[in-house]
Amino acid sequence: MTGLTRPQIAWRIAQDIPDGAYVNLGIGAPELVANFLPEDREIVIHSENGILGMGPTPPEGEEDFDLINAGKKPVTLLPGGAYFHHTDSFAMIRGGHIDFCVLGAFQVAQNGDLANWATLDNSRPPGVGGAMDLAVGADRVLVMTDHCTRDGAPKLLDRCTYPLTGLGVVTRVYTDLAVIDIENDRFVVREVAAGIDRDALQAATGAELHFAEDCRAIETAPAAGT
């Protein structure tokens, strides 16, 4: 099954972030969302390590390693941006001041449970970072993930089997195959990638899917994914 590319998923997520929003983007693929935020909207990106108004990667040679994002990569500060210390940064997160966060996931359950910090493999040290704070604190927790693991196992499940990050926190999931809302402990499919039929999507999912009446194709930008 060929669905959306990562940049295409990121573009699709970016369309749902409204003007004026404060947004935290998780480490890894969610960082791509920043590249596709519509230019006619003022959206403020928060980085857990003490930045509001985070800007793009600086040109090579102009990096300042005291100015990094949560993934520890060099970034820039936009006009209007601010620096602050960690405890204030997490007050913003837990205190309900962040409108959206976009997180990756190992597993998402139909009741909105999220597992994205540890597996059942204990040989590697676990690391939670700010994921648990974001999960309970952001107004809306969006998940960006492949629909299945590399081995083809579903990541959207009846119940998570990995250690949880947060209970009932996820509001919407964007995968390479579909856009799915979590409503009343059910997966409600809003959009499906072009060329993916409903049976195939259900077969790739570890819980029952409910298709919205107005379920349609996922919109993609002509330039995304190229």
Partner 1 sequence: MINKQVHDFDSALAGLADGATIMVSGFGAAGAPHDLLEAALDRGIRDLTIISNNAGEGDRGLVRLMTERRIRKVVCSFPNSSNAEIVKELYSAGKLELEIVPQGTLSERIRAAGAGIGGFYTRTSVGTPLAEGKESRILDGEEYVFEKPLRADFAFVKGRLADRWGNLTYNKSARNFGPSMAMAGDITVAQVDEVVEIGDIDPEQVITPGIFVDRVIAVR
Interatomic CA distance for residues 179 and 171, integer angstroms: 11
By CB under 8 A, what part of segment 27-66 binds partner 1? 47-51, 64-66
Contact present, 31 and 6 (Cβ < 8 Å): no
Residue 39 burial (10 A CB sphere; 0-12, 13-18, 19+): exposed
Question: Which position among 163, 181, 212, 220 is part of the footprint of partner 1 (CB under 8 A)?
Answer: 163
Residue type for position 185 = D
Task: Count interface residues toward partner 1 (CB under 8 A).
Answer: 41
Q: Which of 63, 11, 42 is nearest to 220 (CA)?
A: 11
Q: Answer yes or no whether residue 137 interacts with partner 1 by CB under 8 A.
A: yes
Q: Answer yes or no whether residue 93 interacts with partner 1 by CB under 8 A.
A: yes
Interatomic CA distance for residues 149 and 65, integer angstroms: 33
Out of 31, 42, 48, 183, pick the active-site residue: 48
Considering the complex, state which of residue 121 and residue 214 has its C-beta at the smaller distance from partner 1: 121
Q: Answer yes or no whether residue 208 interacts with partner 1 by CB under 8 A.
A: no
> Residue 154 gets which letter from DSSP?
B
Which span sits near partner 1 by CB under 8 A: 37-45, 82-90, 142-150, 185-193? 82-90
Contact present, 49 and 124 (Cβ < 8 Å): no
Q: Answer yes or no whether residue 26 interacts with partner 1 by CB under 8 A.
A: no
> Does 219 qualify as catalytic in the annotation?
no
Interface contacts to partner 1, rule CB under 8 A: 47-51, 64-68, 72, 77, 83-87, 89-90, 93-94, 118, 123-133, 135-137, 163-167
